[in-house]
């Protein structure tokens, strides 16, 4: 197991042939005989590399419209034979089968093919590779005798090892390649499984989360923790492009994810200023620069060192305002060239673009006792569907403010209370164990920012179990409130609103965020 092996025969069967001719030539130069399946054989031959076709070995050409090419004992016995096993060697000799020492294979691009969501099942099935995964699994299983290769990235360093060793591949390299091969086949099967689950029960008896490494991070939430960023097909990753600044940290990514989620629920030219996963301030006015300045008013102290998300093109006026505050990250769909030039004067400021704001239908959370999976909280955000339960009805301007407050409340850690006017947030109370404390905290934030709550509106992410929370809000001069309703004491809470001449809406939807 610990010995190096010399590559006498290598089989190539590749959908993506990028760089394979360089690797195949490196093998051939070291005396390796190259075998290849149909399309790969033609490609390598066109590159002046001598190739023996698989069909010449098996005695059969491609069958069943291409479904069967390499599935044959003369291929699989050559891959799976343990070179140190006398019985295996005798079986090969009696059957006239030669050993295969290296497999270079990648698969039909199933995931890319079905990514647009418009493919018929019958077409998708034809993009499920059978021979490739079978050969790769066989070679990875038998890595004590065979080299499994599954990506063009591996060609370069393997070529270097071949050159340095005179045609040998080490046991250490084979173990590394086997790990990568099984990860590749696992991810491929998971993508197929997930495709079938999309057309059935997403909460099925088993669910595969495929994760591909994007990069290692400097550290995690704290410097003593390691961290890595992965992508996943299930999560339909939003592409972030870093235009300026240091690499992103673990905490930056968390805040950026929260910011993008809020931007999705904001109108055009909306702005969110975010810190530690909670919004400090939000606004959606006519101009982006107006929205930023209004959002900043909510909590200018907490906005120091924040992440700022913008739903519009950043112009020089907005960039000038942004440059006046110390910020960790700014993310927007696009920027004027002059805006980037100005903001880039701050070398450490991370300036990013995002390509879209859609999100996966499901989210996952890892725990010590298992993994939770749930549908995204995407319903019940339009207050046009809410029920007015008080004697007083909200005015048009109050409805504008209530709509913003209700959409923001969804993104605030529970218990959540958000005060707003029609221009933006006035105070945000997040993450308190008591709804009364959240109400008081939001009022304190407004007071510290010299913002007037009288005549404003409020939103609560969950119902009021007693009237005391509503009484606290009423004392601040709030004149309209939106909440889910559904408490056994709803009538008591409605009575409190009527006593204070407040308008109140019930949405029927709770928006806890834990």
In a domain, 426, yes or no: yes
Task: Mark out the alpha helices in 410-448 (DSSP H runs).
Answer: 435-448
Asked whether the predicted pLDDT for residue 166 surpasses 70, the reply is yes
**Coil, helix or strand at residue 16:** coil
Q: Within this chain, do residues 31 and 76 fall inside the same structural domain, yes or no?
A: yes
Q: Within this chain, do residues 113 and 9 fall inside the same structural domain, yes or no?
A: yes
In a domain, 291, yes or no: yes
Q: Within this chain, do residues 330 and 412 fall inside the same structural domain, yes or no?
A: no
Q: Within this chain, do residues 186 and 314 fall inside the same structural domain, yes or no?
A: no
Q: Within this chain, do residues 256 and 179 fall inside the same structural domain, yes or no?
A: no
Q: Within this chain, do residues 269 and 410 fall inside the same structural domain, yes or no?
A: no
pLDDT the model gives residue 240 = 92
Residue that the structure tokens 């904001």 belong to: 266
Average pLDDT, integer, range 147-158: 86
213 is catalytic: no
Residue that the structure tokens 């969501």 belong to: 117
**Residue 61 pLDDT level (bands cut at 50, 70, 90):** low
Q: Within this chain, do residues 50 and 116 fall inside the same structural domain, yes or no?
A: yes
Q: Where is pLDDT greater, at 89 or 214?
A: 214
Beta bridge partners of 9: 33
Q: Which of 25, 119, 141, 267 is catalytic?
A: 141
Supply the CATH number for residue 190's domain.
3.40.50.1380
Q: Where is pLDDT greater, at 35 or 273?
A: 273
Supply the CATH number for residue 281's domain.
3.40.140.20
Token readout for 90 is: 């005798």
Q: What is the pLDDT of residues 435-470, one digit of tens each?
A: 999 999 999 999 999 999 999 999 999 999 999 999
pLDDT the model gives residue 77 = 79
Asked whether the predicted pLDDT for residue 1 surpasses 50, the reply is no
276 is catalytic: yes
Q: What is the pLDDT of residues 288-338, one digit of tens each?
A: 999 999 999 999 999 999 999 999 999 999 999 999 999 999 999 999 999
In a domain, 270, yes or no: yes
pLDDT the model gives residue 68 = 63
Q: Where is pLDDT greater, at 190 or 335?
A: 335
242: domain range? 236-354
Q: Within this chain, do residues 132 and 183 fall inside the same structural domain, yes or no?
A: yes
Q: How far apart are CA 78 and CA 122, in angstroms?
A: 33
Which residues have CB under 8 Å from 499's CB, separation 6+? none
Please count the structural domains in the chain: 3
Q: Which of 8, 33, 276, 313 is catalytic?
A: 276
In a domain, 364, yes or no: no
Mean pLDDT score of the chain:
88
Q: Where is pLDDT greater, at 64 or 374?
A: 374
Q: Within this chain, do residues 151 and 270 fall inside the same structural domain, yes or no?
A: no
> Nearest-5° angle of CA 287, CA 293, CA 299?
145
Q: What is the pTM of this model?
A: 0.76
Q: Within this chain, do residues 240 and 387 fall inside the same structural domain, yes or no?
A: no
Q: Within this chain, do residues 350 and 435 fall inside the same structural domain, yes or no?
A: no
Q: What is the pLDDT of residues 407-445, one digit of tens each?
A: 999 999 999 999 999 999 999 999 999 999 999 999 999
Q: What is the pLDDT of residues 209-258, one digit of tens each?
A: 777 788 999 999 999 999 999 887 666 678 899 999 999 999 999 999 99
Per-residue CA distances from 199 to 82, 207, 361 (Å): 42, 14, 13
Asked whether the predicted pLDDT for residue 2 surpasses 60, the reply is no
pLDDT the model gives residue 64 = 66
């Amino acid at each position: 197991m610990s010995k190096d092996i010399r590559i006498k025969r290598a089989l190539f069967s590749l959908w993506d042939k990028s760089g394979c001719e360089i690797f195949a030539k490196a093998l051939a130069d070291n005396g390796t005989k190259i075998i290849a399946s149909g399309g790969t054989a033609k490609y390598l031959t066109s590159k002046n590399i001598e190739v023996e076709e698989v069909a010449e070995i098996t005695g059969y050409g491609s069958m069943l419209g291409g479904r069967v090419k390499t599935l044959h004992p003369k291929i699989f016995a050559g891959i799976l034979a343990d070179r140190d096993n006398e019985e295996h060697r005798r079986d090969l000799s009696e059957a006239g089968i030669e050993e295969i020492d290296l497999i270079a294979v990648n698969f039909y691009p199933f995931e890319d093919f079905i990514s647009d969501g418009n493919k018929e099942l019958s077409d998708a099935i034809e993009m499920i590779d059978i021979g490739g995964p079978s050969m790769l699994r066989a070679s990875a299983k038998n890595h004590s005798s065979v080299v499994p290769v599954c990506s063009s990235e591996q060609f370069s360093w393997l070529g270097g090892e071949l050159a340095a060793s005179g045609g040998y591949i080490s046991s250490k390299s084979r173990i590394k390649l086997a790990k990568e091969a099984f990860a590749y086949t696992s991810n491929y099967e998971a993508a197929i499984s997930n495709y079938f689950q999309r057309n059935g029960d997403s909460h099925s008896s088993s669910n595969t989360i495929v994760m591909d490494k994007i990069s290692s991070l400097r550290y995690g939430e704290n410097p003593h923790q390691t961290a890595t960023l992965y992508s996943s097909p299930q999560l339909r990753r939003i592409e972030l492009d870093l235009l300026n600044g240091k690499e992103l940290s673990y905490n930056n990514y968390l805040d950026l994810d929260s910011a993008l989620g809020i931007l999705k629920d904001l109108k055009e030219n909306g702005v969110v200023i975010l810190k530690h996963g909670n919004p400090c301030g939000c606004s959606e006015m006519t101009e982006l620069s107006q929205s930023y300045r209004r959002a900043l008013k909510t909590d200018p102290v907490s906005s120091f060192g924040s992440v700022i998300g913008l739903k519009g093109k950043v112009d020089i006026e907005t960039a000038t305002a942004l440059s006046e505050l110390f910020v960790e990250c700014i993310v927007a769909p696009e920027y004027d060239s002059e805006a980037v030039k100005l903001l880039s004067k701050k070398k450490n400021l991370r300036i990013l673009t995002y390509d879209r704001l859609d999100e996966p239908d499901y989210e996952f959370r890892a725990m010590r006792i298992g993994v939770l999976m749930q549908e995204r909280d995407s319903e019940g955000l339009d207050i046009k569907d809410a029920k007015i339960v008080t004697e007083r009805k909200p005015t048009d301007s109050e409805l504008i403010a209530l709509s913003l407050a209700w959409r923001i409340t969804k993104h605030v850690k529970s218990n959540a209370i958000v005060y707003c006017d029609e221009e933006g947030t006035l105070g945000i109370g997040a993450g308190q164990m008591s709804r009364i404390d959240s109400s008081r905290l939001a009022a304190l934030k407004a007071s510290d920012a010299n913002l007037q709550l009288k005549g404003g509106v409020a939103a609560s992410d969950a119902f009021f179990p007693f009237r005391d929370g509503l009484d606290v809000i009423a004392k601040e001069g709030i004149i309209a409130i939106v909440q889910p309703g559904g408490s056994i004491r709803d009538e008591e809470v409605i009575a409190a609103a009527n006593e204070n001449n407040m308008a109140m809406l019930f949405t029927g939807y709770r928006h806890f965020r834990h």
